[in-house]
Structures are given as C-alpha cells and as structure tokens.
C-alpha cells in the first residue's frame, strides 16, 4: 500500500493506493502546528476506518506547499516506514523539463499535476487547480512545464469580499439560477460564481492563443469547486478531483525505477 499526501494551504488530501488503484482518499484541514506524532495518531484512525493498518504502508510521498509541515511528515515517515518519505520538489522530477526561470520556486503540487496531466491526457494540456489560489499549469507539446498563472482562489476572493463589505452577508458559493440577481445574496453569488467561471475561461483562451495550442487541447480541472465550475465553463474539458494524488503516485513510482 502507498500513501500519497498533498498538503495545501487550507486542506490536506491523503490518498491510499493499492498499485495504481486509489482505494480511499480523505480531505482534512491543514494545521500548521501539527507534529509528526499527531499525524501518526490521525493516520492510525484513518486507516482503521477502512480496516487497514500502518504496517501495510510500504511507501509515502508528500507534496507540500506549507514548508513548516514538512518536518512533521518526515517524522511520520520515520515512524511508519523507518525512513523518511519522498518529499517532492523539482529535484524529484528530473524527467520534467521546467521552463520557469527558477525551477525551485514551482510548487510541488503544480509539478505533480503537470506529470499526471501529461501522462493521463497527453501534451499539450492545461491544468486548472481551484484551491486557495486558482492556478493554471501549462504543459507544452513536448511534455515540458511551460509555466503558468496564479490567481486568487474563489473562496479566497469571496472571503475578502465578505470581510471588507460591512453590509454584505456571507453566502454559499454555488451556481445561481441567473446572472442578474434579484437580491443582495443572489447578486453576490452571481458575481462570485460567474466571475470565477468567466475568469477561468478567459485565461484558458488567452493561454491557448499565446501558446499556439490546438482548440481541442485538454483542459483538466481539479480542486474542490472543479465540478461546479466545469458545469458552466466553456473551456474545461475534464474534471479530475484526485489528479494531484495520482501525480504524487506517478512521481513516487518513477523514483523507484
């Protein structure tokens, strides 16, 4: 059994793989103060919920955009495996040509998304990750990481609106029935949701034009709001909520070969 861990700024996703099959995955709140011992207790509980034991884990790989949590996951690997887990950064993907001026600055989640998208859908392609930030990762015709775009995440932008608008209520982020709202709540939902959809579509179209990609280039969406955004989007072609976990597995398998 293999454990893939994707540590994001807001949430942590954990996937339990048997071979290439994702048997189970969990989504947890990222806590910057967690220790390796706390993570060990949490892992025991998660595995017990699906009748698995830590002794069945033979490998762990971690993609983290929270540097402060990396030591805790190193400690977790030592407790479970007797050795450190694979901590993914640009050095873990030597086969991925990274065109950024500073390859070390590219987030591990973006690298594993690129690896997974290229293997599953073929280059060129674009990954749209709808998380704390909305990121666009561009994989060129030769499978290279060509760069990307980072924009405020949907929930992040909405949170700023709620906090700074003294008379604006908090609303659920979901697709409203119409663009023109008939109440403050409907108007906010329309602005947040459709504004995000049109921003995604506009940036995807700009990327396709700038890169000279074919019109039918795969555009893969992942992240918590991917399904809702894809339903209204004109450019997203595929939704894969576990793309990042799959990418972590692929990177780990290649590291073993």
Q: Which residues are catalytic?
A: 109
Spatial distance between the Cα atoms of 177 and 126, rounded to a whole number of angstroms = 29
Q: In this structure, are residues 136 and 217 in contact, taking their beta carbons and an 8 Å threshold?
A: no
Q: Is 110 helix (H, G, I), strand (E, B) or coil?
A: helix
**Token duo for residue 234:** 């004109």
* Nearest-angstrom CA–CA distance, 120 and 153: 25
Query: Edge to edge, what strands does the sheet with 145-152 contain?
Result: 145-152, 133-139, 125-130, 219-223, 238-239
Q: How many CA atoms lie within 13 A of 72 on its CB side?
A: 22
- The token duo for 165 is 């608008």
The Cα 172–Cα 185 span in angstroms is: 9
Cβ atoms < 10 Å from Cβ of 182: 10
């Amino acid at each position: 059994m293999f454990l893939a861990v994707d540590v994001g700024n807001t949430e942590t996703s954990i996937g339990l793989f048997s071979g290439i099959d994702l048997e189970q995955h969990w989504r947890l709140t990222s806590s910057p103060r967690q220790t390796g011992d706390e993570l060990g207790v949490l892992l025991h509980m998660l595995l017990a919920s699906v009748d698995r034991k830590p002794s069945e884990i033979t490998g762990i790989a971690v993609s983290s955009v929270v540097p402060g949590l990396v030591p805790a996951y190193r400690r977790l690997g030592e407790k479970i495996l007797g050795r450190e887990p694979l901590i993914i950064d640009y050095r873990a993907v030597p086969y991925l040509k990274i065109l950024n001026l500073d390859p070390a600055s590219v987030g591990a989640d973006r690298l594993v998304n690129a690896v997974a998208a290229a293997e599953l859908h073929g280059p060129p392609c674009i990954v749209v990750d709808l998380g704390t930030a909305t990121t666009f990762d561009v994989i060129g015709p030769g499978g290279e990481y060509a760069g990307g775009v980072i924009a405020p995440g949907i929930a992040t932008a909405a949170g700023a609106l709620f906090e700074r608008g003294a008379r604006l209520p908090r609303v659920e982020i979901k697709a409203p029935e119409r663009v023109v709202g008939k109440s403050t709540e409907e108007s906010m939902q329309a602005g947040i949701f459709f504004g995000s959809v049109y921003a995604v579509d506009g940036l995807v179209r700009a990327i396709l034009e700038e890169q000279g990609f074919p019109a039918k280039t795969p555009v893969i969406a992942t992240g918590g709001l991917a399904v809702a955004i894809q339903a209204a989007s004109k450019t997203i072609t595929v939704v894969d909520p576990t793309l990042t976990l799959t990418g972590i597995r692929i990177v780990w398998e290649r590291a073993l070969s």
